[in-house]
Structures are given as structure tokens and as C-alpha cells.
Chain A
Amino acid sequence: MLIPSCMEDRSKASMLLKNISIDREEEMMMADLAEAIIPKTETPGAKDIGAHLFVLMMVDDCYKAADQQKFVAGLKAFEIATKEQFGKSFNKCSMEEREILLNDLEAKNTENADLPYFYSNTKGLVIQAYTTSKFYLSEVQVYKLVPGKFYGCVPLNKAS
């Protein structure tokens, strides 16, 4: 039987994951969650730098199997909790609703053990993606590949 590729694509993540199973909808949820953590302002946000893809890739490549399971279980728990609270998926939630959800996550306001794990790891990796992004290291905290002279001791008001 032939399955049109456009149909199949709808259920698969846009990236090739080797160990964890994430569908397209979950990937889009991750994108919006990442964006809620570091939003676009006049400067790029999480989506612009592909932070959600970085999160999934890091979990897929650099997490131990047990931690991957915890992460995915937490992700599913988050989807369920969102639907229970607002009757819709995170993507469909308003900005205010998203804020309520994230405030609860920050406060670890849940009885599910995997949910805080999922959130703190997602947040940590989103921050890592952002603070190591080309934008951040070129325009916020500038990384110089070739710094040249090292000045050992400089008063802070002159250090920049």
C-alpha cells in the first residue's frame, strides 16, 4: 500500500530522532514552549534559533535511556495536564494561559515527578541553545574566536 508522503510527514518530527519518539504535534508544542521560555522581542527568540530542535536533538543524543524516558513521559504529562486545565493543546493556548502553565511549572506545582524533570531540562537546554547561539555570542555576550592580548586585571568600568 502506498502512503502519500505528505500524510506520513504530518505525524513525524521534522528531524531524524534515533532514540526518542516525538511526533510533529509534539515538536510544534516544544517550539511554542521554548518560545514561551525565551520569546522573540526586538531580538530573536527560541524559535528563531531553532532552540526546540536543539532540545530534542540533545535529549536524543546526549541523554541516557532512562532520562530520555523520563523526558518523554514528562512531555506527555505536560500535554495531558494542559488539556485537563484548558481543554486544548499548548499550541492553542493564549499567551495568558501559557503563562499560567509556566508559572505552575516554575513553582513545581505538580504531583507528577516527570513533569518538573521535563520542564527544567527543556528550559536548561533552551537557555543553552540561546546562550550559545550565533546571535547571542555575536551581539549579547560577544565571543571572540581570536581575542588577542589578554589583560590580567582591569577595573570593571573599563573592562567592556
Chain B
Amino acid sequence: MAENTFDAIVIGSGMSGGWAAKEFTGKGLKTLVLERGRDVKHLKDYPTTNMMPWEFEHRGQIPVAIKDANPVISRCYAFKEDAMHFFVKDTEHPYLQEKPFDWIRGYQVGGKSLMWARHTQRWSQYDFEAPKRDGYAVDWPIRYNDLSDWYSYVEKFAGISGNKDGLSQLPDGEFLPPHELNCVEEYFKNTITKKYKDRPVITARMAHLTEPQPIHIEQGRAQCQNRVICQRGCPFGGYFSSNASTLPWAAKTGNLTMITNAVVQQILYDEATDKATGVRVVDAITKESTDYLAPVIFVNAGAINTNLILLNSTSNRFPNGLGNDNGLLGKYVAFHNYRGRVFGKFNQLTDSNSVGRSPSGAYIPRFRNVFTKEADFLGGYASLFVAQRSLKMNTNGFGNKLKEQLSAKDLNDWSVSAMFMGETIPKASNQITLDNLNKDEWGMPLINFNVGYDDNDEKMLADFFAQMTEMFTTAGFTDIETKDSKQAPGLDIHEMGGVRMGSDPETSLLNKWNQLHQCKNVFVTDGACMTSTATQNPSLTYMALTARAVDYAVEELKNKNI
């Protein structure tokens, strides 16, 4: 059994699992990382990374046979010919949808950190206080001050670009230089900031190495070259991913053991000690079952799969899932509402354009219900604003004339768009359950989603359309159009909750250290732990929570408290 015993087990190698691995191994613990998918090595396993557009058989498009067989993943914006190998196809891992939920997954080393959108903002004090102030979910057991140093810690290592904007609603971080905005993004920023005192527009903060520091060079990463084909994996390590950053760092310590194709079925619980002893793993290929043991277990399987593992970890003591005495496990699942877009045109500033490609854009931090509750809905929304000019392609006619037209360098006027990133309010009825009669080939019950929008989401979206239309009008944009994609929850790829944090074991699963109230040596630091969703892109917060929780767990191990 000794070869199956470790100092720590981390389930999952994505955004938060990679951080847990780095922190544990860095503190000298022999750490086992269990990844349910295949290995993806930095540089080596990015097969499309240096391909030119004409080298893609269908120029990026997904063949209709694949789309028809995989309708859910085909709706994901990044599921294109260049990165389709990093996404789970519907047919490979089915699930049940009592209500439609587009569950986007990446089962491989690095998880979705390979293909993420790389926007990174800190939560503010207002975000942590909001549920208590406005009376929804439960009070967060932590405040901004508990996390601010950990934000700094992970930002320095990951490399986050941005401006120090001095906004209490979106605290500054340890920033590398910001990306440049283009002419119209800069214009919009200045116009809106002047007109609306409470609606700053800033440069988006992103996990890109705009100016690598020694700590990034030491990771083997180099400056972002603005290729903006990040989803293929970056040969420069220009953006943060587990593959380019935390995992190789963990491996260098000599303390990391990584097992791939390792599907965790359940966490093993020992009634005699009131602790988890390890995990039961099924090999994805051979279906062979193995137990691995460790005194501390971090569950970073990705929000929904973390719920699955805990719900499936039943015992005499916990017949409804590990740590689930209050029956709340799998409830209060929330996400971000990404249904809205506002489009417009701008026929000024047409004597200039940008040169090159930018992975960034302008960001409008949440301005609704921030400092006080003011709107007729709970929560708020942020928005990403981008402007661009495309080539004016005159495709009339044929022959030499058409060919000449296609060589013209004339540009269209500016197109602008703002994207809705709405908070959703966690509620008990937004729930995932397990169907124990329906198991996959690895013996795991299928997940059934019962997660939907509510009136609050509709009101908030309507407000976004109204406010953004007003802001676009103020900026002199024309042809303003609002569009509600009506997309199902999940396509935002910001699923959160189900194992929420809170101070009271009666109303939450995890305490302020992301530790299961009822099983102290099991920690959850991925999206499943989120008590509320705020409007920020969540990954940075998962990273900070993970580093903080590992630090605590290692102290508790040393002090023999767990």
C-alpha cells in the first residue's frame, strides 16, 4: 500500500488543481494529482499551435456530422477546428438535463485552463458583503481582506496585466503593463467616464505576460506575442495555464506524482477517525480500480464534477454524500448570465486603426447595486467592450474585377459591441442531482441538471440593454442593436456552487478555509465552493482561495489538527 500513499491528494489538474499541486509540492508534501483525462504536455501536445489558417481543412469550421452528434459542445465559441481536441464531446460523456444546461468540459491535464478566456479580476469587499446586505444565499465566511494578500500571491506568479485604476469595486492587483486599447475603445472609455461619474471603463485585466518578470522566465514562459490563438496552447507560455505554469513548477520539486486517465469515483471515509482516508480511482481505459491514500484531499475536479464526487462519496455516516448532513450539497448552483450583446457602429475616428492583434479590450466593472442596493433586481453585471474595423470586402461581381476588389485594403467603419456578464443569484431550486440508475462506463451516476434562469436574470438583462443603449447613444454610436441569444445556462462556462462556503454548518458545506464542516481533511477550492457569483471572471478567485487553503491545510497537518 505504501506506493499508493501520499502526503496530499489533489483531484483535478485544471485551474485550481494546478495551484493546489504547486502549493503542496512547494511546501514539501509528496502530492498525487489525479486527472481523469489524458496528459497534455506544455509545447509538446499543442498539435495546432503553429498552424496557418490555410492548413485547417475546413478553415476552422466544424463538420456538420460532428455538430449534429454533439450539439452542446458545438455551441461553445471556442469549439473550432483548431482546438476541438481539447473539449469533451457530448457523445463521450453524456449527462441529463431536466432543464437545458450546456456543460462545457475539458478532460485533460490542465483542464479548461488551456482554453479559458483569460480575464482576471479581483472580487471587492462589496462582492463578499452582497449576499448578507441584500439577503440572498448565505453570508460569505470571508471578506476581501482575507483574500487580498493571496490575490497578490497568485497574481505575481501567474502574471496578470492591467492598470492600477484605483477602484474600490474592482481592487487593483499586482499588474504587469496593460494591453493598449484601440482608438475607439479609448474614446469610449474617456466619453463614458466623463459622462457617468460612477461608470468607469478600464482596460481589461488579463492573465497575459505583457512584460515577463524573473518568476515567469523561471517557469520557462516568455512574453505574450499577441497571436490571439490562445485556445490552441501557447508555445510562448504567454498566458497562464496549469500546463505552462503551475504543473511544471510542481513537477520540478520532485514531489509531484501525476496519474492521468484516473477517474475518481469517491472519497473514502473512515468512521473511526471521522476523516477521509483517500480516494477510489477507476482507470479510464482499463477500468481497473485502485485506492490511493493521503491525510488531506483537495477536490478540484471542476465545479460540477466536484459536486458529483462528493455526492457519490456515500458511507454509513454520510448516506447522502460526503459532508452532506444538511442536504444542501448540489444545491445553490449558479452561473453567469452571458445572454446579452449590444452592437453598434461608429463612423468617426475612421482615419486610424490598430496594428496587430490584441487579446484584450475594455472592461466596464459592475455599476449596479455596488455601493447600495438601487435597482429592482439583485446583483449586477459587468461588460466587455470591444471595437474593431474589418476589411471592406466588396464581393460584387466576378472575374478580374472581383479579384481586384478582394485585394483592396479599405476598411469598414468601426463595429462596436458590449457583452453582458450578469451575476445570477444562487437558489436552492437550481440544483444538480445524481441519477443512480443511469451510470457511465466508469460506474459514475449521471448528473442531472435542474438549473435555470429566473425573473431576476430577465430584469437584469433588460437593464443592461437599456443602460448600454444609453451609453452607446451617448458615445455617438449608431445602428444600435440588442441581442438576447437565449442561450442555456452553462455556455458561460462559469458554473459555480453546490458546495458553498459559509460560517454555519447548518446552511453551508465548507467553512472559511474551504474545508468541509463535517470532514475536516477534505477541501474544495474550485468553482463548487462559491457562495455567490459576483460578476468577475472567477478563475483568479479560485487560484487565490486554493493557495490560501493549502497554506492552512499544511499548517493544520503540521499541528495534527487534521
A-to-B contact residues, CB < 8 Å: 36-39, 41, 43, 45, 57-58, 61-64, 99, 102, 106, 123-124, 127-128, 130-134, 136-137, 140-141, 143-156, 159-160
Stretch at the interface among B7-15, B284-292, B370-378, B396-404: B396-404
Q: Which residues of chain B have C-beta atoms less than 8 A from A160's C-beta?
A: 409
**Do B52 and A38 touch across chains, with their CB atoms under 8 A apart?**
no
For the complex, what is the distance from the CA of A123 to the CA of B64, rounded to whole Å? Answer: 20
- As a 0/1 sequence over residues 396 to 440 of chain B, the CB contacts with chain A under 8 angstroms (1 = contact) are 111110110011010100000000000000000000000000000
Q: Which residues of chain A have C-beta atoms less than 8 A from B403's C-beta?
A: 38-39, 41, 43, 45
Q: Determine if B225 is an interface residue (Cβ-Cβ < 8 Å).
A: yes
Cβ of B115 to closest chain A Cβ, rounded Å: 19
In the complex, the 10 A-B pairs of residues with the closest C-beta atoms, listed nearest first:
A152-B180, A153-B183, A150-B356, A61-B63, A151-B355, A147-B356, A150-B358, A150-B226, A37-B398, A152-B182
Q: Which residues of chain B have C-beta atoms less than 8 A from A154's C-beta?
A: 352-355
> Residue B183 contacts which of A124, A137, A152 (CB distance < 8 angstroms)?
A152
Find the B residue at minimum CB distance from A33. B398
Find the A residue at minimum CB distance from B184. A153
**Do B356 and A149 touch across chains, with their CB atoms under 8 A apart?**
yes
For the complex, what is the distance from the CA of A137 to the CA of B52, rounded to whole Å? Answer: 9
Find the A residue at minimum CB distance from B223. A148
Q: Determine if B560 is an interface residue (Cβ-Cβ < 8 Å).
A: no
**Do A41 and B58 touch across chains, with their CB atoms under 8 A apart?**
no
Find the A residue at minimum CB distance from B203. A152
A62-B58, A150-B355 known; 19 other A-B pairs, CB under 8 Å? Answer: A37-B398, A38-B398, A38-B402, A39-B399, A64-B64, A127-B395, A132-B59, A143-B52, A143-B53, A144-B356, A146-B227, A150-B179, A150-B357, A153-B352, A154-B352, A154-B353, A154-B355, A156-B351, A156-B353
Mark out the residues of chain B between 200 and 258 whose CB falls within 8 Å of any chain A CB in the assembled complex. Answer: 225-227
Find the B residue at minimum CB distance from A151. B355
> Residue A134 contacts which of B54, B181, B396, B398 (CB distance < 8 angstroms)?
B54
Q: Determine if B479 is an interface residue (Cβ-Cβ < 8 Å).
A: no
**Do A132 and B357 touch across chains, with their CB atoms under 8 A apart?**
no
Find the B residue at minimum CB distance from A131. B406
> Residue B182 contacts which of A45, A61, A153 (CB distance < 8 angstroms)?
A153
> Residue B225 contacts which of A37, A39, A140, A146 (CB distance < 8 angstroms)?
A146
> Residue B358 contacts which of A45, A63, A106, A152 (CB distance < 8 angstroms)?
A152
For the complex, what is the distance from the CA of A41 to the CA of B185, rounded to whole Å? Answer: 40
Mark out the residues of chain B between 43 and 99 whose CB falls within 8 Å of any chain A CB in the assembled complex. Answer: 50, 52-54, 57-59, 61-65
A141 with B391: in contact, given A63-B64, A154-B353 (CB under 8 Å)?
yes
**Do B356 and A123 touch across chains, with their CB atoms under 8 A apart?**
no
Q: List 17 A-B contacts (CB under 8 A).
A: A36-B399, A37-B398, A58-B61, A62-B58, A63-B64, A123-B398, A127-B395, A132-B54, A143-B53, A147-B356, A150-B226, A150-B356, A151-B354, A153-B180, A153-B353, A155-B352, A159-B355
